[in-house]
Amino acid sequence: MRERWEQYVAGGQLEQFVEFAVALNSLVEHFARLRLPGLTRLCEGLENAVLPHIGDPSAHPLGPQAVASLQRQLDALFGSVSTSRNGSVPVRRQTEGVPVRDGEWVKPREVWIVSAAADDEVADGLSRQLRFFGFKITRVDWHNVPEDTELPLAVLFVPARARAEVDAEALRQIAVFRAACPASQLFYLGVAAFIEPIVALMRAGIDVAVPADEQPAMVVNRILDLIQTEEQDKYRVLVVEDSRVAATLIRRTLAEHGIDSHAIADPGTLLDTLKDYRPDLILMDMYMPRFNGVEATRVLRQMSAYHTLPIVYLSGESNIGMQVEALRLGGDQFLIKPFNPVLLAAVVKTKIARFREMQRSTQVDGLTGLLNHSAAKARLKALVEAAGYEGRFTVAMLDIDHFKSVNDTYGHPVGDQVIRGLAWLLKARLREGDLIGRYGGEEFIVALPGTDVLLAQAVFDRIRSDFAALPHTHPCGVLYATFSAGVAGYPAQDSASALTEAADQALLQAKSLGRNRVEAAPD
């Protein structure tokens, strides 16, 4: 990006500026994928300053003032990139195919809690909970950003009490933390649900403002989500375009943004290609031989599998009436050729992000944020197939003991909190790439690729004893719960269903042997 900027400054051509903007846009994407909110924000700020200059060819070459202003923002961005390099940006752990060492199962991650009073109850409670889930907590004063220490995964600001207004001094301090920890996720707890203070916090650098009416404990789940995120598949776009030149240009732009694409020239092959390629979005030309884009879209909208698949027209058609008609008949958006590459990439990415989010919401369990029963089963099948016959692989079924009596004694909401507690502990203790699903009410399924039964048993036994020591609060004090687990492995069981069945049998065995224990299925 720096190189393209320098080329523009030397040449002053609009095309060079667009190339620079495309590189900047890819960088935003890259930081967002790496979950570096501070750097993403800086990049987006620069992008906002760049965009107005793209639509106006007569503005180029830009005057010295505009160049100097962009240069300042670029310098700030480069400065932050080099600061964050020295820090401990949360790194994804590559687990597949790597022999599992015992030390890998514990994730000591640093979290700073910034609170005003030393005896703050909420901050104390959160510190305790986060420590239980394996985080290293540093309590920090509002006015002292720790220096020469490991940078944290997250910073939690806990104000003295929820107020409609966040005072200017607090905002200034948040900005200081933001600058010192560009890669960390910043949370502010207990903001009143008014738009002004939330906007002010976001401007100061807060990533997540947690409303006062949300339980502070929910923030634990959000922090756990930071370390248990699924690797996203690359976005896939199907380009339906009969002009080879246009298709090449479109695919080049998509590739520059890290988007995978496939092009077909004949819409007659559309259905077969959709089945094989499974795109997240179709970029559809309007006028092609045999059928036009609108007809092809109408056909797709009649099939339940493609009801919601985003379809964006990309066409030279400038007649507004025709465009409206094309949208009415099933398209999601209309872009005009010749296309602006930044706009094309932005439309494609935002439409795909929403589409994937919508699909995801049907796969996730609302109480725990884990995969639900059917999504976990489908994922397990895919993981077993990917592991192949050579791979080591274990499946475990876990069930909370005497859970009915927890509900009966303390009430359903407390029971829910116990279920969440186990879900969070699993998220905290298992690795990126492990499958964790809520299989039923108080039953969980876990799959550990690359792990044999012996190690899995040891891992679950440690989680079992940690869970037994985890206090769950209820209005009259705390309660403790336990779980039982059954473990089964490859190659003794050679399919997803056989693994699940054998793990279930082992779980029953653990229950009948007295509960609060982990049993392995026989080889």
Ligand X SMILES: Nc1nc2c(ncn2[C@@H]2O[C@H](COP(=O)(O)OP(=O)(O)OP(=O)(O)O)[C@@H](O)[C@H]2O)c(=O)[nH]1
Binding residues for ligand X, per CB under 6 A? 367, 399-404, 407, 412, 415-416, 419, 441-442, 511, 515
What type of residue is 214? Answer: E
**Count of C-beta atoms within a 10 Å radius of residue 366:** 8
Is 381 or 515 the residue whose CB approaches ligand X more closely? Answer: 515
Q: Taking Cα atoms as reference points, which of 463, 494, 519, 486 lies closest to residue 392?
A: 494
Q: Taking Cα atoms as reference points, which of 396, 400, 389 lies closest to residue 502?
A: 396
Q: Minimal CB distance to ligand X: which residue?
A: 441
Q: Bridge-partner residues for 436, per DSSP? A: 446
Is 21 or 406 the residue whose CB approaches ligand X more closely? Answer: 406
**Count of C-beta atoms within a 10 Å radius of residue 363:** 15
Say how far apart CA 133 and CA 398 lie, in whole Å: 18
CB of 370 to ligand X, least distance (A): 12
Is 207 or 401 the residue whose CB approaches ligand X more closely? Answer: 401
**Strands across the sheet containing 260-264:** 260-264, 236-240, 281-284, 311-315, 333-336
Is 97 or 514 the residue whose CB approaches ligand X more closely? Answer: 514
What type of residue is 21? Answer: A
Is 281 or 406 the residue whose CB approaches ligand X more closely? Answer: 406
DSSP state of 56: -
CB of 138 to ligand X, least distance (A): 35
CB of 139 to ligand X, least distance (A): 33
Answer for the pair 180, 173: CB distance below 8 angstroms, yes or no.
no
CB of 173 to ligand X, least distance (A): 40
Say how far apart CA 250 and CA 450 lie, in whole Å: 40
Say whether 442 is catalytic: yes
CB of 418 to ligand X, least distance (A): 8
**Calculated CA dihedral for residues 200, 203, 207, 208, nearest 10 degrees:** 10
Q: Which of 19, 29, 442, 443 is catalytic?
A: 442
- Residue 484's Cβ-side half-sphere holds a number of Cα atoms within 13 Å equal to 20
CB of 415 to ligand X, least distance (A): 3
Q: How far is CA 35 from CA 90, 176, 236, 449, in A?
A: 9, 20, 21, 24
CB of 405 to ligand X, least distance (A): 6
Q: Bridge-partner residues for 154, per DSSP? A: 111, 185
Is 30 or 515 the residue whose CB approaches ligand X more closely? Answer: 515
Is 375 or 400 the residue whose CB approaches ligand X more closely? Answer: 400
50: enclosing H helix or E strand? helix 37-50
Answer for the pair 127, 111: CB distance below 8 angstroms, yes or no.
no
* Residues noted as catalytic: 442
